[in-house]
Each structure stands twice: as C-alpha cells, then as structure tokens.
Structure 1
C-alpha cells in the first residue's frame, strides 16, 4: 500500500526534478497530483521517464484532505499561504523554501545527518528542506564531525545559475550567445554579467556585510549538525548551469589525518569519495549532474592549524540540494512514522 502524494510547483526546475526522483526511486505511490499557480493550470508534466503525463491543477483550489505527503517547491510567499492549509488538513508538507527552516517547531532535515530530528514533525506537520549549499556540505561534514568533533568551518561556494531558477539558466545561455556574436550581455536576473564571470553575491545583503545565502549556511549548519560549530561562508555565483561546488576548510577538536578522513568518507552514507592525487582525479560540476551523491575530492591536511582538513565538495544542487533531499525526507517519514507502504 502506497501514499497519496502532491508535488507543488511541478512546472519549475525543482518540481520536475522531484517527479523524476520519485519515479527513479520507485517511491510507493498510490496516487499523485501536481499543482502550481493559476498560470500553469492545465499544463502537462511527465512523471519522470514513465511516459505518464500529469495535468497541473491550480493550488488555490486544490483540497489537500486525504492526501499523505506534499512536496513543496513554490517559494516562500506561496508556501506561507498553502503550507499551513495542507498541514492542517493532515497532509505532511516537506518544504523546499526558506520559510520554516529556522522555526524551532519545524525539523530541518538531511536524512544522512540528523534523521532523528524528524520525530518532531507533528508539532506543525511541516518539515523543512535546507538550503542547497548547506545540504551537500553537512553530508560531507557529518562523518568528520563524528570522528573528530568539528569546531570551525570556513567555506567558499561556487554555485551554479540553476540555483536562481530557470531565469538564471536562461540568462547564462543568452549572455554567452550574445557575447559570441558581439551583442550586449545585459544583466537582468543577476546584478552583474554572469557569462564568463563570477559574482560574489547571492541573495540580499545584511547589515553586517554578509549575504542572506551566507547567513543561511551558518544558521542551518548549526541547526542540522551542531550549534557549537563556528561557520563563516562566502557564496559566489559562477557560470555553471547545474552543480554547486564548495571549498571547505575544517578545524577539529581532535586530530584526524587526511588518510583517516578519506577512509571515513569512503564509507559515509551519501558521500562518493573521488580523490586521486593526479590530473583529473577529482569531481567537477559537469560530472555530478544527475547523480544522487555528494562528491568529495582533494582531501588534505591544513598545515596552518593544529587539527585541520581541507576538501572539495560537489553535488547536483537540483537533486541533493533540493529535490532528492525532499524525497529522501519523505522516505524517512514513511519508515519512521507513516509506515503505510509495505
């Protein structure tokens, strides 16, 4: 016996990826509905590669009563309206927006890292999916933290334009084409030209000079992994279509050699260690696209601190950073609480 599942925001990049992953992982579904805003009502989306076409319904008029799980990818404003409505009707919401992530009554979950936290979901019947760059980082940090107790993390991200949605991907494509033919490459979605450039600015600026994206990485890592860990981030948008990369420097309470860290990471859930000290012996965003794993490469000891490591981390931000993690949360919810499927 399976679940009745709703995918909200099914016409967007993340929503389509949610449908693909539900199909790929053969999530136990008795019935599936796809909903979005009124402008997408009546559109057709495919359920993964199954060939089954689903008709998009208007979320405003959708009755969530009797549905088990809703995967939300509709942004904070729409989530604020519809998530409480779905949750009140008994449909557990797994939300990809930032709206509920720091709510103390809403679990913020990465299943490989803090699965036990999901046990508090019933307080609001809502579960939050973390920021894309946070999700992959904590998957890589968790086994190291368990082994040597991380005290400080310094991370620089290299985030793909798909993190800014379809408009970001379109802008990179159009600017690249325009530059090749000698036309003007005016920024629209981003604050500066993204083609053949990097932009050290994601989300809005805060009073202390950090951006909201950088703040998210700090507070979400603390909530998911350990509130005692000190984190500082610099988030950069790069001209890559899909796949976020991170250069992570780690300080630990206890000594952990690079060799031991490699051994631990090799066995860690959700991690794929690709770390050969030779040309091409590491993973780049191009190679991670479409994969479930968080790839870790270039593990080495930091000689500037007493107990330090440095590593390179890459993941498909539309998958582990969003859709895959949401589906994994749904799987975890089913195993621990709903227990409806065989």
Structure 2
C-alpha cells in the first residue's frame, strides 16, 4: 500500500510563507496565551467557574449554556471556546513553520509542543470543573498556562533567529545570574498562585468551594518577599551587564523587566490595601504574564544564534551560447 501523503508536506509544496509571517504567527500565539490566562482569571473573578457545572459538555443535557444559567454560564462557556481559537493560532504556527523554506524542525517541534500543552491544559480545566474548583487543580491549571506561555515565547524567539550553535554574549557567571533571576521569578509566580488559592476569590459563589488552608496574609507576605528578591536580582544583573560592557540588547531587556516589575508592584499594593477588588486582581494576573515574558527575554538575550535563513532564490536562466536562447531549467 502506498504511503499516505503528509498534509503538512502538501501545504509546504504549495505555499511559502515569509519569515515575517512566521514571526507574526508566533507572536500571535504569545498574545493568545496571555489572553487565555486573563480570560481564565475573569471566569474566576466573576464567580463563573462552575457556570458550566460539568465537562466536556456544559450540562448533562446540553453542550452549550442554557438561558437559565445566566451570564455565568456564558462567561465560562466563552472561555472554553477561546481554547479553540488558541488551537487555531497554534495550528497556523505549526503549518507556517513547516511550510517555511528551509524547513526548521526545531521550530516545528516547538509549535507541536504548544499544541500538546494546550490539549493537556484543556483536560486539567475539565478536571477543575469536575472536582468543584479544587484549589490545587486550579493552581495546576494556571501553571500549565504559564508553561504554554513559556513555549510560545521560545517559539517567538526562535522564529526571529537562526539555527546556528548558540554563542554566548556574556561570561558564564553572568548567565548563571540570569538563570537565578528566572528561577526566582518562577517561584514568585508559583507563590502567587498559592496566594490566589488561599484568597477570597474561589471562582464560584457556593460555600462549598475549598480554599488552600493557609493564612492569606502570611502567604502574601512571602509573595512580597519574592518580589523584593526578583527586583534585587534584576538590579544586580543590570549593574553586572554594565560592568562587563555587555551589548545594548541584554541591558535593554533588563530595564524592560525592571519597569514591568515596578508596575506590577504598584498593582499588587493597590490590590492588597483595597481587599483584592476583582478588576485589580485581573490586571495583576495580566502583569504576572508580562513579568514572566520579560524575565524569559532577559535570559534569551544573553546568547545569539545568527539570522534566520532566507528562502533560497530561484536560479536565474543560463544563456545558451550556441542558440542565444535561455537554457531549459530542470524540473523538480
């Protein structure tokens, strides 16, 4: 039996996306990953977490929310539908990366990694509903969204550079400092999910929704402590980069991270001293995504991998010396 044709190969034979298109598709996947986090937060903050009380359907009898479920059902179901939009965007990334010449397998693999993280998180989201918004499952749901954002940022970065062996722009101790900064930022985000799990926004108005049994003020103080650690590491890295006369790019990325941290800190204090109003908490969740993106970009800016390869130009016809006519080009 002849082998079935690969649909991605068929598309690649008929379509050659530009490098700019691939970069824009990768950037769009980053934006969609952020939107999924923010809209997921909106579900929680509007107490719509159980707007659709079961999964994968909305109710036992209906795929979609019924009028009796009100706005909460619409909000929860709309967030579920955004997953399909995200899948479509990731699909475009995979197809564009595969069709781009020359084919970069590393970029295609990153696109597929995004797809499988989305699928896994969709299942975790369903388990979240089926377990009545268990706070530990909710936290895992958010952390998987952070994993998706990580892969999306890596895909975007790789779409903007080549496939050369990574060349370090700074010495190893400086790179290690940047890794400590990224690790501290990740711990900051993890502790932030615990703060949310122990806080008052359970995601549903019913009294039976569990919370993480920790003192909210104490875990919030731990979260603030990590904020100061991350800010201190950011400032230390900036002075280090300046001392070793690092290129302008890495120093600019550190300044961007510091600016995002300052804005996020302001939002966090407004949230704390105003009893966590829903809108401010939503802005804080957006800020956590921006902080993570900025921290990843700092680490990625400390090495380079050359320029992305251009599409090979078609061969020009060769003049036939005897006939004075262009020679026939060979067929592929």
Tell me, yes or no, whether TM beats 0.5: no
TM-score by length of 1: 0.30
Q: Give the structure with the larger strand fraction.
A: 1
Between the two structures, name the one with larger relative contact order (CA 8 Å, sep ≥ 6). 2
TM-score by length of 2: 0.30
The structure whose Rg is larger is 2
